[in-house]
Structure 1
């Protein structure tokens, strides 16, 4: 005679761990307070915010890209190691290594390069401008404009633009309109081989300061919306 009710017989009990988060909607699983490391990475002209959740007591490891879950491991008894995931077909690895004082170090590798090496490489490959459009409404529009130098591909808030360039004296001008702001991307010869072509972005005739991609990549939340 069983003391278990018909719905609680041993053969009816689930063998799956009961501490998973599958039953919780994704937007509720994301908790900024649980993030232990974050990086900002431009890949193929688009900017991505990568965040790691490393639960040393729960054994849970989660990776978020722009606020979306891309990897989750529950009940990880080994708290160190590496996890692999892909962004736009680019292989990324997050490594968790032990550190003195019962702490951990977190490292990101993109396409086989450390985050620092990748940042240095991207600095040579891209030009970046940040522009905030003033508006009479309560909210203002922010634009992140990136130019990939080898292909001259132009991205605005991660979207590839197809704009025609016009030849002018000393170089080219690429004009595009965003709401009521006219942008002109100027390409001019610097006059020496070391500097090559100099790119300047104008918004309604006023030069937009170029952003330092090294600093921007260390401050992901300031330029990416938390989805």
Structure 2
């Protein structure tokens, strides 16, 4: 684990759950963002210790905010598509339905996007056919 690691967030999106890690060097201003273990942003020397960093995860637009709370203490928050992470997650639970099915003993993540009716299996969008069954006609 990096010495300057100050925050870790999990973002559940249609294509899977992504892990975002943020490093902040409070003496050098260093900022590093990793998504799913891959470094996507690095700034080693920054004179301004507070601010925002913008990046994308899958199709989601994300912002890490660094705010001073007192002295050399900082608060780190993550926004996803313009909403605080918790609010974004609440919205996701309304528009997505997620299941984990065990196929031959292996966990398989299935996501239905209720607004588009897109189906994702283990992070890959799959082609589907919509079939409407009517039991009775009134």
Match of 2:52 among 52, 74, 82: 82
Q: Where in structure 2 are there 5+ consecutive unaligned residues?
A: none
In the TM superposition, what is the alpha-carbon distance from 1:163 to its structure 2 partner? 2.6
Equivalence map 1:53-202=2 (5 Å): 53-100=23-70, 102-133=72-103, 135=105, 141-168=106-133
Q: After superposition, give the CA deviation of every residue in 1:140-189 in whole Å (9 maximum; x if it has no partner).
A: x222211100111111111011133444455xxxxxxxxxxxxxxxxxxx
In the TM superposition, what is the alpha-carbon distance from 1:37 to its structure 2 partner? 1.0
TM-score (norm 1): 0.52
Counterpart Cα distance in 1 of 2:2 and 2:126? 32
Q: After superposition, give the CA deviation of every residue in 1:102-143 in whole Å (9 maximum; x if it has no partner).
A: 3211111122211122112111110111234464xxxxx222
Structure ID, larger Rg: 1
What secondary structure, in the 3-state scheme, does the structure 2 residue paired with 1:56 have? coil
What secondary structure, in the 3-state scheme, does the structure 2 residue paired with 1:59 have? coil
What secondary structure, in the 3-state scheme, does the structure 2 residue paired with 1:119 have? helix
Q: After superposition, give the CA deviation of every residue in 1:86-116 in whole Å (9 maximum; x if it has no partner).
A: 2345432100111246321111112221112
Q: After superposition, give the CA deviation of every residue in 1:11-66 in whole Å (9 maximum; x if it has no partner).
A: xxxxxxxxxxxxxxxxxxxx4664321222234x2232211111224432101111
More strand by share: 2
In structure 1, the partner of 2:11 is 41
Aligned residues: 134
Q: Where in structure 1 are there 5+ consecutive unaligned residues?
A: 1-30, 136-140, 171-227
Counterpart Cα distance in 1 of 2:99 and 2:55? 29
Counterpart Cα distance in 2 of 1:151 and 1:70? 29
Q: CA RMSD in A?
A: 2.3
TM-score (norm 2): 0.81
More helix by share: 1
What secondary structure, in the 3-state scheme, does the structure 2 residue paired with 1:122 have? helix
